[in-house]
Structure 1
Amino acid sequence: MKRILLLCALVPFTFMTSAQNSRPNIIYILADDLGYGDVSALNKNSQIPTLHMDQLAREGMVFTDAHSSSAVCSPTRYGILTGRYNWRTRLQSGVLWSYDPPLIPESRTTVASLLKQSGYHTACIGKWHLGLGWQQGENGKVDFNKPILGGPTAIGFDYFYGITASLDIPPYFYIKNDRITATVIDSIKGATGKGFWRAGPIGNDFKHEEVLPQLTQKATDYIKEQAAGKQPFFLYYALPSPHTPILPAKEYSGRTHTNAYGDFVLMTDDMVGKVLQAVKEAGIENNTIIIFTSDNGCSPSADFKELKAAGHYPSYIFRGEKADIYEGGHHIPFIVKWPGKVKAGTTTATTICLTDFMATAAALTHRALKDNEGEDSYDLLPLLLQKGVYQRTYTIHHSIDGNFSIRNKNWKLEFAYGSGGWSAPREKAARTQQLPPVQLFDLAKDIAEKNNIAGKNQEIVKQLTHQMEIIINDGRSTPGAKQSNDVPVNYLKYR
């Protein structure tokens, strides 16, 4: 009889344990302006030994053809959290600034709200850069002491600790949930050089040099706290580095023999290592998915001339840089570790997009997406588990100027006279040079995008242009009912 009672008691425990194991913890680490060529596991000629990123690559799957949906910060972050292209919103070019309102409405499903509905505790730590609802005082000016509306905790995150935007964009505060942590507000002058930041309001507990380690400490503390409980968790850790201001701590200065940027990448890698160590020490390594990626390519603020002299190329073999429609703008590192599920040391050359996180999270939790959710998101599990077929056929890229390109297999059609961004030729110069209004590249033969073959392949140009129009007009690039874009979208407005 005692044996029967013992078995009955074990059944709920076994079921509960099985349920927990079927819902892995998810940690999404997003670097800021990290180039594909900065990761030594992806670039044998990298002059920066990224030991911890390399460890992830050895223990997980490397995606060698991963792309951010945009070549700059805010739009990419929108795509990651919503599974929808940013250009379907009001953000048709550029990024959000200091006091811009929230880009993600509270009515839209995000990865965080989806996972929260599935029983996850959800946290956002780090850089936000998706707009905040700052309230005004009676004098019509921003009252920093009032609750902040429309932030992370309004769209699915249970907990937020982070900064408003890039570390060079004011106001400079730590925000916990919906309030700043500062007790006194002052102002700070701008800084120049690699340590660039803009002048603006600053809290009395905020020092630019301390932000990266401070946020990492919050991330590791969160991991330890959540590991002690029974609820699965999702941590979106948006690093503020190696974006400007480039501020390597003293113990990293000079270690890479490249320049301050290289040393800052090394420091960033160490912060990734601290997260990996926290997971291991918490005993949750075998039931935690870790995703590591970057929001776009490397910025010219890194000083490419100095890095080249040291034999380092952040954009690897790709043309262009952050902001560009060329590969250097959006071809980014993407590594996934999931012990026991994703085979260690594997690589895939399949073209994916950061918008795919939404559909992947839905598949992990056995949640079917509605027609108005994740309209540009495809499930990555077939690639990760090496079972089934990944469904993406077309991928849309977007530059800081608002130029589009469409990718299908080896073909990439760019609707731009030039880079659509910061590298030469910029759009104005390219028009002056009377360069063609579209660029077509066969990336299988020309990954450096040197030879525009649009003139010799008009049928391919026509077919890809037609598909571009369908994806815009349907309000989605995935199968499902037609949806509406938030604003009219004109992919030819550059002409």
Structure 2
Amino acid sequence: MTNFVFILADDLGYADLGCYGGRAPEISPALDRMAAQGMRFTHAYSNSPVCSPTRFALITGRYQYRLRGAAEEPLTGKFRGSTTVGLPPEHPTLPSQLKAAGYQTALVGKWHLGYPPHFGPHKSGYEHHFGPLSGGVSYFTHLDRGGDVDLVEDGEPANHQGAYLTDLLSDRAVNFVNARSADRQPFLLSLHYTAPHWPWETRHGRAVPEITGSTLGHLHGGSIHTYHQMIREMDEGIGRLLDALDAGGLGEDTLVVFTSDNGGERFSDNWPLVGGKMDLTEGGIRVPCIARWPKSITPGGVSAQHHMTMDWTATMMAAAGVVADTAYPTDGVALQPALADAGHAFARPMYWRMKHREQRALRDGRWKYLKVDEHEYLFDVETDERERANLAGREPARLAAMREAWKVWDRSMEPIPDDAAVSLMYGVADMPQR
């Protein structure tokens, strides 16, 4: 049986890694090696330009808009005790369905899909969990924005104060793989780093003053050098994990996927894309994505197949021979044809909407329809990935057709609740410029 490791970085930019043309290529040797051993995707997209909604889509394999909890971003501590804002335990998930098929399931890292007692990793199919429940915590004190310690192990508080969170997560992931090397039980390991999400702290560079409570924010300190070092430290852990898979004889039939939950933030490199986190421009939703699966992927492939986060859910379920619950049909599309042939491409329309600035987007083939507030755009993103040449005036029929297609899709989703709020993750001066 095929094993699965899904590694999710937090707020990583499209061009941050060396294998994506990053301007500091030495920061990602393990991921660069993973790309050389597998396949690198140049048109991979996150389900959302913000954190929690993408995670709802990943765990369910469905558009996040189908769930009330995904309408809120971020899911902060104010939702502790909520019975509505979170992932409903009755909803089938990737881990719950793989678990039913005999897989060991573990989440190491960030949950961010609702708070106990009504929601949590163990209620949604993970047998083991170690990591924070909220969106952003201090890397050393593990305090959330409310000043509470947010590091748990299987539902109980975990005291590792002073230990660097990225290293803690890497160590736990390696230990999990080593245990599976011994018992040979098939597994799903979700390794969801908080790096390189703020606060800006490296292994040897704790933030000053100490980040606690309401001072935990993305505008406090940081530098491009700190940000790069945070990526290096995450990359080191990924390298150790890949080595553990190979040393334990598990590498050949383990599908390892690495990507980001959304586009990069203030210190990220998104070149040549425009915009970033919170935006439906390419910089907010196009993300790095690497897959390694020696049994099924020829090394060194580069694929232009465009796809979304939730397509990996469909891919893993297909590889495991698991059929989605008919009451909750998947919106994801299995990527096996692209994995088998890097030059293969198939049609994959992809839709987004965002309450922040009333954004909507549709990518279909080489074309992208984008609306921000009352402004409409039509881009050929294969030739104009910076989204500078608005072809709406030259292609009115195509614009109208894509606008209507988006509306038809939107009507098939749940409406955005009037009381749903999206907190701005940027200050006004930090908003991406068009």
For this structure pair, what is the TM-score category when the shorter chain's length is used for normalisation? 0.7 to 0.9
Aligned pairs for 1:7-406 within 5 A = 23-43=1-21, 45-90=23-68, 91-92=70-71, 94-100=73-79, 101=82, 102-133=85-116, 148-168=117-137, 169-170=144-145, 171-182=148-159, 205-207=160-162, 210-250=164-204, 259-300=225-266, 302=267, 314-386=269-341, 392-399=347-354, 401=356, 403-406=359-362
Shifted more, 67-76 versus 399-408: the winner is 399-408
> Would you say 1:467 and 2:421 are equivalent positions?
no
* Shift of residue 110, structure 1, vs aligned partner: 0.7
Query: Are the equivalent residues in 2 in contact too, given 1:70–1:400 (CA < 8 A)?
Result: no
Query: Are the equivalent residues in 2 in contact too, given 1:357–1:379 (CA < 8 A)?
Result: yes
Query: Are the equivalent residues in 2 in contact too, given 1:99–1:131 (CA < 8 A)?
Result: no
Secondary structure of 1:275 counterpart: helix
Distance across 1 between alignment mates of 2:402 and 2:417: 20
Distance across 1 between alignment mates of 2:110 and 2:63: 20
* Shift of residue 99, structure 1, vs aligned partner: 4.0
TM-score, with normalisation over the residues of structure 2?
A: 0.84
Secondary structure of 2:190 counterpart: strand
Distance across 1 between alignment mates of 2:33 and 2:195: 19
Deviation per residue, 1:196-252 (Å, 9 max, x gap):
xxxxxxxxx334x61111111111111111221131010000001000112112399
Q: Give runs of ≥4 in structure 1 deviating > 6 Å.
A: 387-390
Residue equivalent to 1:454: 392
Query: 2:170 corresponds to which letter in structure 1?
Result: T
Relative to 1, partners in 2 of residues 1:391 and 1:227: Cα closer, same or farther, differing over 3 Å? same
Secondary structure of 1:96 counterpart: coil
Query: 2:122 corresponds to which letter in structure 1?
Result: T
Secondary structure of 1:237 counterpart: strand
Relative to 1, partners in 2 of residues 1:252 and 1:165: Cα closer, same or farther, differing over 3 Å? closer
Query: Are the equivalent residues in 2 in contact too, given 1:58–1:344 (CA < 8 A)?
Result: yes
Query: Are the equivalent residues in 2 in contact too, given 1:88–1:487 (CA < 8 A)?
Result: no
Distance across 1 between alignment mates of 2:389 and 2:341: 35
Larger radius of gyration: 1
Query: Are the equivalent residues in 2 in contact too, given 1:324–1:400 (CA < 8 A)?
Result: no
* Shift of residue 366, structure 1, vs aligned partner: 1.9
* Shift of residue 391, structure 1, vs aligned partner: 5.7
Distance across 1 between alignment mates of 2:324 and 2:107: 22
Query: Are the equivalent residues in 1 in contact too, given 2:12–2:264 (CA < 8 A)?
Result: yes
Secondary structure of 2:332 counterpart: coil
Residue equivalent to 1:437: 375
* Shift of residue 166, structure 1, vs aligned partner: 2.5
Query: Are the equivalent residues in 2 in contact too, given 1:50–1:266 (CA < 8 A)?
Result: yes
Distance across 1 between alignment mates of 2:366 and 2:282: 13
Relative to 1, partners in 2 of residues 1:457 and 1:161: Cα closer, same or farther, differing over 3 Å? same
Gaps of at least 5 residues in structure 2 are 138-143, 208-222, 419-434
Q: CA RMSD in A?
A: 2.5
Query: Are the equivalent residues in 1 in contact too, given 2:16–2:22 (CA < 8 A)?
Result: no
Distance across 1 between alignment mates of 2:318 and 2:30: 28
Deviation per residue, 1:92-145 (Å, 9 max, x gap):
353211242452111111110111111100000101111112xxxxxxxxxxxx
Secondary structure of 1:405 counterpart: strand
* Shift of residue 47, structure 1, vs aligned partner: 4.5
* Shift of residue 357, structure 1, vs aligned partner: 2.0
Query: 1:284 corresponds to which letter in structure 2?
Result: L
Q: In percent, how many aligned pairs have the same letter?
A: 28
Distance across 2 between alignment mates of 1:225 and 1:486: 44
* Shift of residue 32, structure 1, vs aligned partner: 0.7
The one of 396, 415, 421 equivalent to 2:371 is 415
Query: Are the equivalent residues in 1 in contact too, given 2:98–2:322 (CA < 8 A)?
Result: no
Query: Are the equivalent residues in 2 in contact too, given 1:383–1:390 (CA < 8 A)?
Result: yes
Query: 2:21 corresponds to which letter in structure 1?
Result: N
* Shift of residue 442, structure 1, vs aligned partner: 1.2
Query: Are the equivalent residues in 1 in contact too, given 2:347–2:365 (CA < 8 A)?
Result: no
Relative to 1, partners in 2 of residues 1:49 and 1:370: Cα closer, same or farther, differing over 3 Å? same
Secondary structure of 2:12 counterpart: coil
Distance across 2 between alignment mates of 1:244 and 1:488: 29
Shifted more, 365-374 versus 335-344: the winner is 365-374
Distance across 2 between alignment mates of 1:392 and 1:376: 14
Secondary structure of 1:64 counterpart: strand
TM-score, with normalisation over the residues of structure 1?
A: 0.74
Relative to 1, partners in 2 of residues 1:347 and 1:387: Cα closer, same or farther, differing over 3 Å? closer
Distance across 1 between alignment mates of 2:333 and 2:256: 18
* Shift of residue 49, structure 1, vs aligned partner: 3.2
Gaps of at least 5 residues in structure 1 are 1-22, 134-147, 183-204, 305-313, 418-435, 476-484, 490-495
Query: 2:384 corresponds to which letter in structure 1?
Result: D
Query: 2:55 corresponds to which letter in structure 1?
Result: R
* Shift of residue 80, structure 1, vs aligned partner: 0.8
Residue equivalent to 1:481: none
Residue equivalent to 1:311: none
Distance across 1 between alignment mates of 2:272 and 2:365: 19
Distance across 1 between alignment mates of 2:124 and 2:397: 44
Query: 1:212 corresponds to which letter in structure 2?
Result: T
Relative to 1, partners in 2 of residues 1:167 and 1:93: Cα closer, same or farther, differing over 3 Å? closer
Distance across 2 between alignment mates of 1:409 and 1:236: 30
Residue equivalent to 2:423: none
Secondary structure of 2:237 counterpart: helix
Query: Are the equivalent residues in 2 in contact too, given 1:48–1:265 (CA < 8 A)?
Result: no
